[in-house]
Amino acid sequence: MLDLLQKDNHVVVPKKKFNPRTGPSIELGLIGRNNALTFTGLCSEHDTELFKLADTLPLDTTNSKQLEQYAYRTVMMELHTCIEEGARFFKLDADQVKAGRVKPGEGGAIQMAGHFADRSWRLFRYRNRNFDTPLLKGEELPIEHRIITFEGQKPTLAVSSFFGLGSEENGDVIGVMLSVIPEAEKITAILSYATAQKEAITKAAPELFDDSGDLKKALSHTILRRVENFTLSPDFYDGWSDDKKKKVVEYFHKSAMTGEAPPEDAEFSLFD
């Protein structure tokens, strides 16, 4: 799907930066298309087997098995990311303890490692409950899909991301599996979620289920507020004013820290 977005084999993605003086920051910049929306948590054989319908067939929103593969990929990508981040912070803590900069169990890195370890465990439980167990039992997956299609829409972005909207009483994540698929003359957003969590999700994000509202605005704001893994067309991004580029990056960075919603009057559309 990135064929429709790329320019000279590059696309635009959020890129993390770190300055020792000013701390972490985010920018939107070019990356090779083969490195965008890439999930490397599986060997090529199993990746091909698990996502064959999503990767080799045109999008068919009546094909429940294909929709399930798109949804499953978002969970696998988020789980793999959290495991990687946790390992990175565990190593950082070990290095700091060895160098005598922090005491065992007291540094910020070990706190972040613990956060990602817990997040990984919650995602594993989510995957097991909604995918692995029913698949092994030969049962239908307990998930539903909301399909939003924008006809006559130029391909501007792609998304494959799982994001949380809260927690159940036992701490398990309440989440949305979001896939945004660009095609030549339309863009389709697939919001997948556990059937058991539908009420909680529609309550937490009613704007995504309001067909009378501005769904392009609702999706754009949701992506910038809650999603890390998205890809933009360079041609589309280059058409933004310098002011929009600045404000989008400023908000994206701020939302990563605070999670707050963007201003209602913000011109943050990710659609043409």
- Supply the pTM of this predicted model: 0.92
pLDDT band at 2 (very low <50, low <70, confident <90, very high): confident
Mean pLDDT (the chain, rounded): 92
Instruction: Using the predicted structure, report yes or no on whether residue 158 has a pLDDT greater than 60.
Output: yes
Residue 265 lies in a domain: no
Sheet holding 23-32, edge to edge: 23-32, 10-19, 230-232, 157-167, 173-182, 186-194, 143-151
Residue 271 lies in a domain: no
Give me the helices (H) in the chain, please: 44-50, 52-56, 64-98, 108-127, 133-137, 198-204, 215-226, 234-238, 242-258
Residue 111 lies in a domain: yes
| Residue 256 pLDDT | 80
**12-38 exposure pattern, b = at least 16 Cβ within 10 A, e = fewer:** bbbeeeeeeeeeeebebebeebeebbe
Domain that includes residue 225, residue range: 2-258
Residue 183 lies in a domain: yes
The first and second tokens of residue 227, run together, are: 């999603």
d(C-alpha 73, C-alpha 41), whole Å: 10
pLDDT band at 40 (very low <50, low <70, confident <90, very high): low
Q: Which residues pair with 156 in a beta bridge?
A: none
- Please count the structural domains in the chain: 1
Residue 48 lies in a domain: yes
pLDDT in tens, 111-142: 999 999 999 999 999 999 999 999 999 999 99
Closest residue by Cα to residue 175 from 106, 230, 129: 129
% of the chain with per-residue pLDDT over 90: 78
Instruction: Using the predicted structure, report yes or no on whether residue 257 has a pLDDT greater than 90.
Output: no
pLDDT in tens, 203-231: 999 999 999 999 999 999 999 999 988 99
Residue 209 lies in a domain: yes
Residue 157 lies in a domain: yes
Instruction: Using the predicted structure, report yes or no on whether residue 100 has a pLDDT greater than 70.
Output: yes
Closest residue by Cα to residue 46 from 84, 76, 75, 87: 76
d(C-alpha 19, C-alpha 82), whole Å: 23
